[in-house]
Amino acid sequence: MSKLQALSNGLESVYEQKRTGKLSVVGKQGKSVKVGTIMVRRGEIVSVKYRDQSDHEALKFLLSIEIVQAIFFPAPVPGSENTQDLPSTSSLLQQIGNDAPQIPGGNAIVAQEIDLKGEALKLLEELFGAAASQKIDKIAAKYPPTEQPIAFLSSCKRIIEPVFGPAVAEQTLDSLYRKLNKDELR
The model's pLDDT over 9-68, given as tens digits with 9 standing for 90+, comes to: 899 889 888 899 999 999 998 889 999 999 999 888 999 999 999 888 899 899 999 999
Residue 93 and residue 9 share a domain: yes
How far is residue 8's CA from residue 110's CA, in Å, rounded to a whole number?
Answer: 21
How far is residue 176's CA from residue 174's CA, in Å, rounded to a whole number?
Answer: 5
At residue 183, the pLDDT reads: 33
Range of the domain at 66: 5-97
Tell me the chain's radius of gyration from C-alpha atoms: 17
Give a yes or no: residue 122 inside a domain: yes
Residue 91 and residue 110 share a domain: no
Q: How many helices (H) and strands (E) does the chain have?
A: 8, 4
**Confidence band (pLDDT; 50, 70, 90) for 178?**
confident
Residue 83 and residue 16 share a domain: yes
Q: Percent of the chain, pLDDT > 90?
A: 32
**How many domains does the chain divide into?**
2
| Domain endpoint, select from 97, 122, 150 | 97
Whole-model pTM above 0.85? no
Determine the average pLDDT of the residues in 94-114.
51
